[in-house]
Amino acid sequence: MSILLNVPVITQTNFSGLKFRNRGKVRDIYEFDDSLLIVATDRISAYDVVMGQGIPYKGKVLTKISEFWFEQVKDIVPNHIISTIVYDFPSVCKPHVRELEDRSMLVKKTKPLPVECVVRGYLSGSGWVEYQENQSVCGIKLPAGLVESDKLPEPIFTPATKEELGKHDENISFDRTVQLVGKEVAEKIRDYTIAVYKRAASIAEQKGIIIADTKMEFGIDENGALILIDELLTPDSSRFWPQDKYQPGRGQESFDKQFVRDFLNSIKFNRKPPPPKLPEEVVFKTAALYLEALRRLSGTSLL
């Protein structure tokens, strides 16, 4: 914990000399002529509300894990990464090398699709809530008698709308996805999402982690190609469960921000700004979980 106490936490960047584009829940984005610089801060959001405190190492963990997974699945679908090495970045970035190190990616510009590509291998979260009501998730009928955290017979594609900061994403049907992006693109992102998930789930299982579900984003690059963008299979965008503690029929321990959600649920947070202050133990425990996810999956330690 003493190590975490001494780590600078970056919750917002304002890099002089760089053209600022926009700020998301976690990432600050800067723009060059033909590329973007995505900087993962230490901000954390839960229920689409950005907390007032950052989590030590979080931005670096997200960048390193994304980099690991993009490399693991690049033969399935190309991605937007140009480089994660800060000395490859445009020269105007040089004054900010220390802040950018390990938490930034130089990426291709794309036209993002307006769909969150969610894939579920286990029954949890909003999927579990919906299943209890009508035995389906996003219009996909599932077998009767499933319990919370059960493994599904096959991973299912359950897309959601991609909403602006402060608004909640909403689960949608595949037919609605077709309406948003067209039949050909909808089928491609469904097939890519499931293929990437299956590859990643297999790799993670060998390292003692169950990937219960995850979400991905796709964009169209300047050549008209469909590519993976944003982050990939991070503790922010996935549910990671320790395999040795997995037990269907209940919620699971996890290496992700579920720990923060659980605290917010315990104080009956109304899921609207302003956020409550996170206790120190929640901040440090969340940091430890993120760091452990990175270590187990990629073998990388930031400490």
Instruction: For 72-117, write each residue's pLDDT tens digit.
Output: 999 999 999 999 999 999 999 999 999 999 999 999 999 999 999 9
* pLDDT confidence band for 203 (50 / 70 / 90): very high
Q: What is the pLDDT of residue 30?
A: 98
Enumerate the CATH 3.30.470.20 domain ranges in the chain, comma separated.
111-268+283-293
Superfamily covering domain 111-268+283-293: ATP-grasp fold, B domain (3.30.470.20)
Q: What is the pLDDT of residue 96?
A: 97
For the segment 218-230, what is each residue's pLDDT rounded down to a tens digit?
999 999 999 999 9
Count of alpha carbons within 13 angstroms of residue 26, beta-carbon side: 23
Mean pLDDT, rounded, for 65-74: 98
Q: Helix, strand, or coil here: 175?
A: helix
**Whole-number average pLDDT of the chain:** 94
Q: Could you say which DSSP state residue 150 is in?
A: P
CATH architecture of 7-108: 2-Layer Sandwich (3.30)
Q: Which percentage of the chain shows pLDDT scores above 90?
A: 89
Q: Could you say which DSSP state residue 235 is in?
A: T
Q: What is the pLDDT of residue 111?
A: 97
What is the C-alpha to C-alpha distance for residues 145 and 123, in angstroms, rounded to an integer?
12
Q: What is the pLDDT of residue 4?
A: 56
Task: Using the predicted structure, report yes or no on whether residue 1 has a pLDDT greater than 80.
Answer: no
Mean pLDDT, rounded, for 253-282: 94
What Å distances lie between residue 297 and 209, 259, 264, 300, CA to CA?
Answer: 8, 19, 27, 8
Task: Using the predicted structure, report yes or no on whether residue 48 has a pLDDT greater than 90.
Answer: no
Q: What is the pLDDT of residue 21?
A: 97
Q: What is the pLDDT of residue 162?
A: 79
Task: Using the predicted structure, report yes or no on whether residue 166 has a pLDDT greater than 80.
Answer: no
* pLDDT confidence band for 2 (50 / 70 / 90): very low
Enumerate the CATH 3.30.200.20 domain ranges in the chain, comma separated.
7-108
